Amino acid sequence: MDNKTNLLHPRAEQHSKFWQNAHAYFDTVYTTANLDPIWRPYLASPKRVLAVSCPIKMDDGRIQVFTGYRAQHNNARGPFKGGIRYDVSVDRDEVMALAMLQTWKNALVDLPFGGAKGGIVCDPKKLSMGEKERLTRRFTSEIMPIIGPNQDIPAPDAGTDGQIMAWILDTYSMMVGYQALGVVTGKPVSVGGSVGREEATGRGVMNILRKFLATQNKQIEGTRVAIQGFGNVGSHTARLLAGRGAIIVAITERSSGIFDESGIDIEAATKYYRENGTLADFPGADAITNEELLTCDCDVLIPAAMENTIDAAIAPHIQAHVVVEAANGPTTPEADAILREEGITVLPDILANAGGVTVSYFEWVQGLDNYFWDLKQVQDELQKVMEKAFDAVNAKADEADCDYRTAAYMIAISRVTEACKIKGLFP
């Protein structure tokens, strides 16, 4: 097998669409920014991709083998950092693409981290708590050689939460013989997590949207918002925006959604979703599909679910004036070009949803110091980081006369390239 078709570097057409999209953005910006071509192949490749088998005993006595991955893209700026997701869609290409996006995101908000991502191919809703715990602990033991407080620090992502991070913390700590608070972030506060971490991505989305609207002499109050995805990110985004006077006209989760042009009661919808596991039949609102939400009449559209949800077929029908990418990679390059032609502003994922990893950084620092911050300090520091990043992207967009995504990538890739050049290659 030649180098062009090995596991890390197969031909482009052999990769998934999502991997190709992540590289399309990278390739376009690398060329546009006239960066040093010598470092391009290095930055385009993951440093390491680990695939592991995770056999566990199921509740009925069967042994089932799950596949897990951990991709580490680049650590020129610091330890690897990125989430772990439990989903049936998880595969090698997905974690490699997400790890690359994480590298740019961490660099854009100027955190001392490189990018990583991992996951297990499973449907977490079909696993009991016991099965999920055994799977998490087995996966942790399998990726143990490449994670650690100064190596690679996982965090929650789609399908995972604070409980899973607590199991990773405990498993790792038992194996090294001491309490290693810095090995994961997104932990419950009772075991070394940070206050404000759960809502951090949504709060960051709110901070970025507020800053952008201010450049247009607008404000959040009275803005009509549609949010696709009602998990951790979507629900907190909805709550925080509604609390500042936004009119949330539509929300959806995987299989159901609701629309109310006069505004949805987010507190009631959240309670209903927690009790029923669905938004279907929520009283006083009309049913809406995920596709209908993307094209509904609103001022701001926030995709907060999975990648590739806004494609070339959907993009021409979007009515929003602003798209805020709370999910990772929700817009394909083809759709991005259409939105740009239509005059729709896109606030890109590596900027808009960086609040989560920012507070993860705060949590990591607190864990290493064994000194913990109060909620106001977390929220104030998060706002500073997000607003500083927005100001940098806004200034770069003006200077280079380009869209926000291109500006964000220019800043992020330039920072990583500079770190690579200064450090050089070993050996």
* Phi then psi dihedrals of residue 408, to 5 deg: -65, -45
Question: Do the strands 247-252 and 322-324 form a parallel or antiparallel pair, or are they unpaired?
Answer: unpaired
Backbone angles phi, psi at 76, to 5 degrees: -65, -30
Determine which helix (DSSP H) or strand (DSSP E) holds 114, and give its type and residue range. strand 114-121
Quickly count: other Cβ atoms within 10 Å of residue 365's Cβ.
15
Phi, psi (rounded to 5 degrees) for 186: 80, 20
What region, left, alpha or beta, does residue 263 occupy, with left being phi > 0 and alpha being psi -120 to 50 degrees? left
Order across the sheet with 63-74: list the strands. 48-57, 63-74, 114-121, 80-87, 152-156
Structural contact between residues 230 and 256, judged by C-beta atoms closer than 8 angstroms? no
| DSSP notation for 87-116 | ETT--HHHHHHHHHHHHHHHHHTT-S-EEE
- Is residue 348 classed as helix, strand or coil in its secondary structure? coil
Residues of 85-121 as b/e, b for ≥16 C-beta within 10 angstroms? bbbeebbbbbbbbbbbbbbbbbbbbbbebbbbbbbbb
Q: Of these residues, 117, 187, 211, 396, which one is catalytic?
A: 117
Q: Scan for tokens 């190596």, then name that residue.
A: 151
Listed residue (402, 349, 327, 421) closest to 108, CA to CA: 349
117 belongs to the catalytic site: yes
181: helix, strand or coil:
helix
Contact 80, 50 (CB under 8 A): no
Mind telling me the catalytic residues?
A: 117
